[in-house]
């Protein structure tokens, strides 16, 4: 299965830059999730890979081979959209065999392919059903089987689970990844859902305004974001703005009234900085000191956890997740202290356009 290399990809539609010098490497057999907000350039990237859109500039290579003059049908890459696009007049079996028919496989090859695909997506008993007779999950699996039966080496998935209900979407996350990994097929999966990316990806590439901002394992991107935008987009974060007051094993940042502690950073003493801390790593306590105090203004029950919002004077709102057994032990109006372990917080350079502009989701 191919490795993929995209270098300096640019694609504009008038004044809109769908790809703005985009660089992306996908490893052989990797399941990579391309994660970003609406309008970030995710679908354009997939369509450029599939050969359906010609970039204005830049290069694309599959296993080192330049794809500039290679037609879509010769790239051995199949694009599966969120709408599935099944042929309504064809049965499940006939939809799956569409690719092998085009490729003029022998009857024996087609029979083997059909059997393997139906077994893989667990639709053997529904081979004669039409798309209108299938659930959304079955339609999705049929579309996937049709894509895989085409003999493609690269699978390009454009929000493939978006149209499904929540429970089915969660179930199919594991099925889809397992199928791709079992086949060893190189997969690029576009999504705007951070939970989906964290669960499914070998690596996540975060895209914004046509550029890749960070790429790494789910753990790296979640725990060690390289910007406030990523810190808040891949797992909600709280932010504290101030100036670097001290640099040792950790970094201390002060706004003149409060001083907080975070990981070591390269930002010099006296420079303006932003401290980001995940909501799940933010603690609220009553009987011990914290970095600052606030008033509980909202409590949301989320099953295993409570989402608690705390209003902190002169700073704004901070949020925390606490175990649901604390329901009844925390009430709106309570005075609480807010703290975190310094090695769970990241210090960022203050963005050029300011923090609020940085955190905007297009």
Convert the pLDDT of each residue in 117-170 to its tens digit: 888 788 999 999 999 999 877 888 888 888 888 878 899 999 887 767 777 778
Give CA–CA dist 115/201, Å, rounded. 28
Q: Which of 4-18, 67-81, 304-318, 343-357 has the lowest mean pLDDT?
A: 67-81
100: pLDDT confidence band, cut at 50, 70 and 90?
confident
Which own/partner pairs from 199-202 qualify as long-range (CB within 8 Å, at least 24 positions apart)?
Answer: 199/173, 199/174, 200/31, 200/33, 200/173, 200/176, 201/31, 201/32, 201/33, 202/27, 202/30, 202/31, 202/32
265: tokens are: 């950073």
What percent helix, strand, coil does the chain show, rounded to 5? 30, 35, 35
Percent of the chain having pLDDT more than 70?
99
Are the CB atoms for 46 and 126 separated by under 8 Å?
Answer: no
Question: What pLDDT score was predicted for residue 153?
Answer: 87
Question: What pLDDT score was predicted for residue 163?
Answer: 66
Q: Which of 46-50, 132-136, 250-254, 275-279 has the lowest mean pLDDT?
A: 132-136
- Of residues 84 and 43, more confidently modeled: 43
Q: Which of 45-59, 77-91, 293-307 has the lowest mean pLDDT?
A: 77-91
245: pLDDT confidence band, cut at 50, 70 and 90?
very high
Closest CA to 49 of 12, 20, 6: 6
| pTM, two decimal places | 0.89
Element counts in the chain: helices (H) and strands (E): 10, 20
200: pLDDT confidence band, cut at 50, 70 and 90?
very high
Question: What pLDDT score was predicted for residue 344?
Answer: 96
For each of the domains in the chain, give its residue range(s) and CATH number, in order of start. Answer: 4-223 (3.40.50.300), 237-359 (2.40.50.100)
Question: What pLDDT score was predicted for residue 20?
Answer: 93
Please return the burial class of 58, using the count of CB atoms within 10 Å of its CB with bins 0-12, 13-18 and 19+. Answer: middle
- The phi-psi region of residue 179 (left if phi > 0; otherwise alpha if psi is between -120 and 50; otherwise beta) is alpha
Question: What pLDDT score was predicted for residue 343?
Answer: 95
What's the whole-number average pLDDT of the chain?
91
Name the strands in the sheet holding 154-158, side by side, starting at the edge strand that comes first in the sequence: 77-80, 154-158, 186-191, 31-35, 203-208, 211-216
Question: What pLDDT score was predicted for residue 152?
Answer: 84
Query: What would the pLDDT profile of 308-321 be if each residue is shown by its tens digit?
Result: 999 998 889 999 99
């Amino acid at each position: 299965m191919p490795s993929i290399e995209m270098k300096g990809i640019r694609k504009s539609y008038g004044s809109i830059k769908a790809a703005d010098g985009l660089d992306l490497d996908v490893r052989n057999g990797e399941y990579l999730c391309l994660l970003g907000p609406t309008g970030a350039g995710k679908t354009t990237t997939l369509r450029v890979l599939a050969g359906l859109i010609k970039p204005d500039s830049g290069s694309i290579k599959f296993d080192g081979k330049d794809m500039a003059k290679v037609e879509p049908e010769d790239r051995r890459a199949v694009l599966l959209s969120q709408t599935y696009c099944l042929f309504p007049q064809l049965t499940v079996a006939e939809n799956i065999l569409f690719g092998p028919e085009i490729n003029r496989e022998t009857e024996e090859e087609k029979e083997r392919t059909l059997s393997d695909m139906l077994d893989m997506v667990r639709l053997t008993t529904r081979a004669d059903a039409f798309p209108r007779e299938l659930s959304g999950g079955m339609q999705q699996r049929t579309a996937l089987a049709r894509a895989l039966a085409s003999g493609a080496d690269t699978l390009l998935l454009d929000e493939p689970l978006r149209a499904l209900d929540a429970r089915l979407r969660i179930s199919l996350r594991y099925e889809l990844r397992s199928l791709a990994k079992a086949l060893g097929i190189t997969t690029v999966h576009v999504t705007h859902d951070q939970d989906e990316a964290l669960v499914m990806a070998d690596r996540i590439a975060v895209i914004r305004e046509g550029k890749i901002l960070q790429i790494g394992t789910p753990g790296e991107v979640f725990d060690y974001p390289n910007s406030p935008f990523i810190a808040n987009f891949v797992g909600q974060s709280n932010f504290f703005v101030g100036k670097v007051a001290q640099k040792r094993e950790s970094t201390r940042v002060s706004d003149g009234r409060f001083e907080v502690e975070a990981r070591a950073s390269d930002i010099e003493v006296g420079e303006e900085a932003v401290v980001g801390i995940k909501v799940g790593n933010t603690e609220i306590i009553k009987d011990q000191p914290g970095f600052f105090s606030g008033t509980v203004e909202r409590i949301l029950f989320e099953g295993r956890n409570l989402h608690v919002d705390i209003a902190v004077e002169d700073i704004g709102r901070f949020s925390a997740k606490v175990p649901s057994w604390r329901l009844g032990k925390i009430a709106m109006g309570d005075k609480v202290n807010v703290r975190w372990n310094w090695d769970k917080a990241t210090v960022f350079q203050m963005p050029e356009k300011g923090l609020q502009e940085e955190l905007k989701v297009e």
